[in-house]
Amino acid sequence: MRLTPSLELDEFRGQVRSFIADKSPGVKPRAGIRAPEPEQIPDLRAWTAALYDAGYLGAEWPTAYGGTGRADLERAFVVAEELARARAWEPIGAGTLAASALIEFGSEEQKARFLPRIRSAQDIWCQLFSEPGAGSDLASLSTRARQEGGEYVIDGQKVWTTNGQHADVGYLLARTDPDAPKHRGITAFALDMDTPGVDVRPLREITGTSDFNEVFLDGVRVPADRVIGEVGDGWRVANSSLGHERSGVAARGADLLRQLDDLLELAEGSRESGQPVLDDPATRRRIGRLAASVHVADLMSKAAQSRMVHGTEQAADSPLVKIFFSEANLAAAELGVALQGVDGLLVEGDPDVRADGWWQDAFLYARAYTIAGGANEVLRNVVAERALHLPREKR
């Protein structure tokens, strides 16, 4: 089933919603961006391939690789919203991010090798950017790549690598010129994750699951033809590909609205000292304040989407959407646990836990959203300096 340009957005939304209902391998059992269990991987590969095959992903790709060659942000936003609303699995891994880099900067050989395998989900990619000393300040990365003949030898450590334990290929940034200014001398690579010297170690988080990994690189040899773009131009490659990752803006608003609906349902069925919790004026005020925050975050998301569609983006758009989303999401999770009273201490697996422990897990995970993708404190500085043009503090 291919997309027909004449379809209006509301018809398209209905088409996407029906596709998800018919084809999705089920809802995500936990909140947030989570790694699946190993036994889920075959179904999720098939689901990712189905989304590409239907044209719901990769529509903007060149026609030679299955796309239309035309970006349609409005439809991309609709797909992201409907996936979030249904709590369906997104495409696993960083394949869409890597594809953006390959399409813009990759060699013809790289495109011919990797793009079809991304569309078929034969390859799951992971993003090997962050390091223990280079998170929000990514340009401070210290993983080194030195050239030896027709290969690069890479040493270093990456961390917070989502789906690293499932990945076939890594989109890696490493420093090839240690004497260059920190935003230069960085090179992007496509790394086969089964290369000798690559050691993936899952991190056990407070949720009890392992969604992230640390990746150790010890004398890893990568052929020179796996450099994406020019040597030393990795910072531009990475920023360009990250700039194409816009659909998440739409997903955030839809996710919050779904949480608000679930929260109201939870509140209607919760009791404290034998009385419905909604009889308490303080509880109603707290829900009201949260509802206002959720709708503000959703409207900010829609305003950012509109500017993206019309090419009038502002420097503050994405940072502010992320800040408002992550803080409203945290408040929703806190309230979801609080509304359960002492039952909020129950965990997944307890026969009396509400919603299979979804709110407790969401509470444990929610703080990560205020840090991942740029800590909110750093993003506030971005807004101040790049959007409001405020002066830096002199020290």
Residue 32, token pair as written in the block = 């947030």
161-217 confidence digits (pLDDT tens): 999 999 999 999 999 999 998 889 999 999 999 999 999 999 999 999 999 999 999
327 closest CA partner among 368, 266, 285? 368
137 closest CA partner among 385, 319, 379? 379
Pick left, alpha or beta for residue 156 (phi over 0 → left; psi -120 to 50 → alpha; otherwise beta). left
385 is known as an active-site residue: no
- Rounded average pLDDT over 312-335: 93
pTM beyond 0.85: the answer is: yes
The DSSP H or E segment spanning 192 is strand 186-192
Q: So what's the pLDDT on residue 1?
A: 40
112-143 confidence digits (pLDDT tens): 999 999 999 999 999 999 999 887 778 889 99
How does 376-387 read in b/e, with b if 16+ C-beta sit within 10 Å? beebebbbeeee
Spell out the alpha helix ranges (H) of the chain: 9-23, 41-53, 73-85, 95-105, 108-119, 234-243, 248-268, 281-309, 317-338, 358-369, 376-382
Q: So what's the pLDDT on residue 7?
A: 57
User: From CA 257, how far away is CA 291, in angstroms rounded?
Assistant: 9
* CB 154 within 8 Å of CB 222: yes
* CB 296 within 8 Å of CB 290: no
349-359 confidence digits (pLDDT tens): 898 899 999 99
User: From CA 173, how far away is CA 235, in angstroms rounded?
Assistant: 8
Considering only residues 378 and 248, tell me which one the structure prediction assigns the higher pLDDT.
378
75-93 confidence digits (pLDDT tens): 999 999 999 999 999 998 9
What's the N-to-C CA distance of the chain in angstroms? Answer: 60
Residue 242, token pair as written in the block = 């990250």
Give the relative orientation of helices 108-119 and 95-105 as an angle to the nearest 10 degrees.
160
User: From CA 158, how far away is CA 304, in angstroms rounded?
Assistant: 31
**Is the predicted pLDDT of residue 367 greater than 50, yes or no?**
yes
**Is the predicted pLDDT of residue 10 greater than 80, yes or no?**
yes
- Rounded average pLDDT over 320-345: 94
The DSSP H or E segment spanning 175 is strand 169-175
231-279 confidence digits (pLDDT tens): 999 999 999 998 777 667 778 899 999 999 999 999 988 887 778 888 8
Q: Which of 245, 265, 377, 385 is catalytic?
A: 245
User: From CA 224, how far away is CA 218, in angstroms rounded?
Assistant: 17
Q: So what's the pLDDT on residue 108?
A: 96
Q: What percent of the chain has pLDDT over 70?
A: 97
227 Cα distance to chain centroid: 24
